[in-house]
Each structure stands twice: as C-alpha cells, then as structure tokens.
Structure 1
Amino acid sequence: MGTITNRYLNEVHWQQPGDPKLRVTGNAVHVWRICISKNLKRLEQFEALLNPEETLRAGRYKQQKDTYRFIISRGMQRIILGRYLDLLPAALQFVLGDNKKPHVVGNNGDTIHYNLSHSGDWILLAIAASPIGTDVEFIDNNFSFRDILPDNFSNDEIAYINHDNAAERFFTLWTRKEAILKATGQGLGEHLQLTPSLDGEHTLSRSVIGADKNWQLNSFLVNPGYIGSVAAEDAGQFFLFFDANT
C-alpha cells in the first residue's frame, strides 16, 4: 500500500528564476505563483500567444474578470512551460492524457507534468517530472463550510477543523484533498472523505487511484489570505518556489 505524507511549510521563499532555461529532473518540484491583478497590464502580450481555440474560449466567459483570468492563466502557462521545453510560448500544444489530465509534450519527446489551480486573485502552477497536483483557495471566513464536513472529512479531520482559525484549517485540508486527487486524476466525489489530509504519514485507501505509490504533499501560504497545497509522486521531493510577477 502507498502512503501520503502531509506537512505545512511555515516559511516559503518565493524567488525570481535567474536562468531563462529551466529544468525539472529527478525529485524536483517547481511551484509558481501568479497574481492576476498584477498582470492585467500584460493582457495584450498574453492574448497574442493564444491559439484560435483558446481565443474563442476566452470570449465565451460572461464576466470580464473570468476572461482576463483565462487569458493571463493560459498566457503565463505558455511562457513558463516554454522555458522548460525550449519552445516558443505560442508553439506549445496542450493535450489530454490519462484521466483527462492536460500535459505538454516537448519537441524532444520529453514530457513534463504540470497542474494549475486558481482562486480569487491568485493562480498556482506546479511542475515536475512525475505526476503532480495542486490547489489554491482564498480563505473565506464567510463560507459555510461546516455544512459539508460530514460528507467530505473524517471524524478526526472534523475535530481538527473545529478549533481556532477554523476557516484556515478547513481550507488547508481541502486544498490537500484536491491536490492529491488532481495528481492521481481521481476526481472529487466520495473519495474526498477517503483522502487523508491531516499532518503526518497516512496509508492511502485502495479505492483511491495511485494508492500503490508514495506521495508527498506540502501546504503553504501563497499570499496572505490564500492557502495552497501541492502533491507530488514519491516521498522526498525537493520543492522550489517561484514568483512570476513583475
């Protein structure tokens, strides 16, 4: 049986990448944070990178903020992933793999795994050489999360949440569940309750995809008011954190 090791990182150093060419090899995991409001000035640059299908998709959103978020998200994905694959951003082709997980195949045949999440003003992009999953959430103190606890959390998890800073505790555990299920391609539903999210090492239920592997999951503040989690295949991953904002 596989395991998942959950931990909270109290200190995360968001750095600017120095080398324009980047690589993820072995046990490296790169985590990028992208602020939507700080990148609105680059909308035209990002929009110029989209292919016709992406341009049509951006135009289908009913709210302008969702259109802007999609353009910035996809444009940044193209720029950042292009640095790993030595490809021009506009040349990247996004395809669906197993369990409908998107990935990009480089011109040399190498595949990098990535996963993206967004909430409010922030986007989180995680990149690795093996399966990866991420989730970011705005810590909304007005969200009635207690209504969904029994169906999605274990008794121990519910007891942990029902203390001081309950909203932050809830969203921390929620992002962990989302991150591992996205990494495996499992999807949500009944598996949320079966996915352990408390700190420490846990055995995975046989019903969860990827239960035969070992996973490492790190949670951290993306920015004040935003919690993020990243799940990576195999324990002992080396995480680096990058800020994509100028």
Structure 2
Amino acid sequence: MIAIYALKCPAVMEKELFNRFLQALPEEKRERVHRFRNPADSYRTLLADVLVRSLICEAYEISNDEIKYDYNAYGKPSLKSSFPNFCFNVSHSGEWVVCATHDSQVGIDVEQISPIELDIATHYFAPAEVEDLLAKHPDEQVSYFYDLWTLKESYIKARGMGLSIPLQSFAIRKKRDQSITISQSDSRDAWEFQQYEIDPGYKLSVCATTNQFAAHVVRKDLQDLYQAIFHRKISR
C-alpha cells in the first residue's frame, strides 16, 4: 500500500525545538537549512527531512543515527542497500510538507494554489494538456492548471530523473469521471495517479507503478516526529 503523510508547518517554531530537530540532520543538510533567510523556507526544508526520518525510524525500529542515504545520478535519495524496500518522496509548499512511501518508486507533489498567468502552460505543458486547460470554464482553469502541474511533477519525481524528462514530452489528461491517463513513449511502465485533498488552497498528486493507493492521508504533527526520532515527548 502506498502511504501518504502530511504535516502542517507551524507559523513560528520554538528555537529550542528547531535546533533539536536540526541536530537530527547531517551537517550538509543543517547548512542548507541555515542558508534560508525566510524562516518559513527553513521550516519546510527542515521538517521535510525530519518527517522522512521519523517514518523510517518507525518502519524499521532503528535510530535516526542509523539512517544513511544513497543518491541516484539525478539526486533522488533512497535508503542504503540494507533497506532496499523502502522508497519515498517528499514535497512541500506553503504550509504543507507531504511524503509518500512504498516498496517501489513513488512520486508526490503538493502546490499552493495562487493566481498565475496561464500563458506559461504553453511552455511547460504538452499540446493536448494546453487544449484541455483552455477548454475549461475560466473559473476552473487555475485549479486545473495546478491539477496538471502536480500530476506532471509527481510523475517525473516517481521516475527519479528530474527535469531530464522534458515536461512537454508526455501528456496527462484528467477526464470527467476523474480518471487520469498519461501518454508517453520513453517508459514501458504503466503509471497510476491519485489525488488527495488536504487543504482547499492546495493540490496534492501522487504517482506510482501500482494503483494500491491509501484511501486517506495520514496527518502528522511535531509531537509525532519528535516521539519517533527522540523516543520521548516534547518537553514544555
């Protein structure tokens, strides 16, 4: 079963808790978090990593110190060979951090819905996708744009090849019955998609080579993460 997790980031995080979570990360990740000037960016980046670590600690009953990553040629992380059947992918936007886990490749993308110039669709979407977008009622076009955007992002993230896959090289179509199909020529795998609602102002899409998607998103909070990694509750 493909499991989906979501964490709503706090507007402000206590400094002590922030630093405690930060110490759970390796040095290069800590430096990356510190480079952000906007606290919200720091929180999202930090908590995305901590969320994954908490799930790994729970799944394998190991300590955070035992977690080691390998990276493919495109930078996608995976657990080292001692844990070959745990695949994951993370995404964050606005107030939300999300993660998908499975025993085979999976991709997830969340995006906050905001006003956008629809002309950019011609630069990133396949002709069939642009046609579908423009056929929508004007009141539905922005929402559908983010449907397509998150679906496409989840697909290239599941493939683990990043933007080496041109966004215009494949077409995703969402039909009236909400079924989702993809037309692409460079992968023999049959890709499946699922969308979830976590917040009215966001779109969340998941892609995998199986349709065994969880029915619901599991919501986590900071206490859950702290308990999984440090094996005790947050002290107040």
Which of the five TM-score ranges fits, normalised by the shorter chain?
A: 0.7 to 0.9
Letter in 1 for 2:76: K
Q: Structure 1 residue 121: deviation in Å?
A: 0.8
Once residues 41 and 91 of structure 2 are traced to their aligned partners in structure 1, the CA distance between those partners, rounded to angstroms, is 14
2:18 to 43, 62, 75: 43
Q: Could you tell which deviates more after superposition, 171-180 or 35-44?
A: 35-44
Once residues 198 and 5 of structure 2 are traced to their aligned partners in structure 1, the CA distance between those partners, rounded to angstroms, is 9
Match of 1:213 in 2: 189
Once residues 40 and 113 of structure 1 are traced to their aligned partners in structure 2, the CA distance between those partners, rounded to angstroms, is 29
Q: Deviations over 1:56-107 (max 9, x none)?
A: 222222323222222222222211222122211243112203533101137x
Shift in alpha-carbon separation, 1:189–1:95, aligned structure 2, 3 A: closer
Q: How many residues align?
A: 212
Q: Deviations over 1:36-70 (max 9, x none)?
A: 11783542442231222222222222323222222
Structure 1, unmatched stretches of 5+, are 1-27
Once residues 218 and 195 of structure 1 are traced to their aligned partners in structure 2, the CA distance between those partners, rounded to angstroms, is 17
Asked whether the 8 Å contact 1:138–1:225 carries over to 2, the reply is: yes
Question: What does residue range 69-218 of structure 1 map to in structure 2 within 5 Å?
Answer: 69-97=44-72, 99-105=74-80, 108-140=82-114, 142-144=115-117, 146-162=118-134, 163=137, 164-188=139-163, 191-199=166-174, 200=179, 202=181, 204-207=183-186, 211-218=187-194
Which protein has the bigger strand share? 1
Determine helix, strand or coil for the equivalent of 2:162.
Answer: coil
Determine helix, strand or coil for the equivalent of 1:223.
Answer: coil
Once residues 39 and 82 of structure 1 are traced to their aligned partners in structure 2, the CA distance between those partners, rounded to angstroms, is 26
Determine helix, strand or coil for the equivalent of 1:103.
Answer: strand
Q: Deviations over 1:20-47 (max 9, x none)?
A: xxxxxxxx10011111117835424422
Once residues 39 and 108 of structure 2 are traced to their aligned partners in structure 1, the CA distance between those partners, rounded to angstroms, is 25
Which protein has the bigger helix share? 2
Structure 2, unmatched stretches of 5+, are 224-236
Once residues 165 and 28 of structure 2 are traced to their aligned partners in structure 1, the CA distance between those partners, rounded to angstroms, is 34
Q: Structure 1 residue 194: deviation in Å?
A: 2.6
Q: Structure 1 residue 179: deviation in Å?
A: 0.5
Whether 1:237 and 2:216 are equivalent positions in the alignment is no
TM-score by length of 2: 0.80
Letter in 2 for 1:72: L
Q: Structure 1 residue 156: deviation in Å?
A: 3.5
Determine helix, strand or coil for the equivalent of 1:70.
Answer: helix
Letter in 2 for 1:242: V
Determine helix, strand or coil for the equivalent of 2:144.
Answer: helix
Once residues 183 and 38 of structure 1 are traced to their aligned partners in structure 2, the CA distance between those partners, rounded to angstroms, is 30
Shift in alpha-carbon separation, 1:45–1:224, aligned structure 2, 3 A: farther
Once residues 90 and 206 of structure 1 are traced to their aligned partners in structure 2, the CA distance between those partners, rounded to angstroms, is 41
Letter in 1 for 2:5: W
Q: Structure 1 residue 196: deviation in Å?
A: 2.2
Once residues 223 and 114 of structure 1 are traced to their aligned partners in structure 2, the CA distance between those partners, rounded to angstroms, is 22
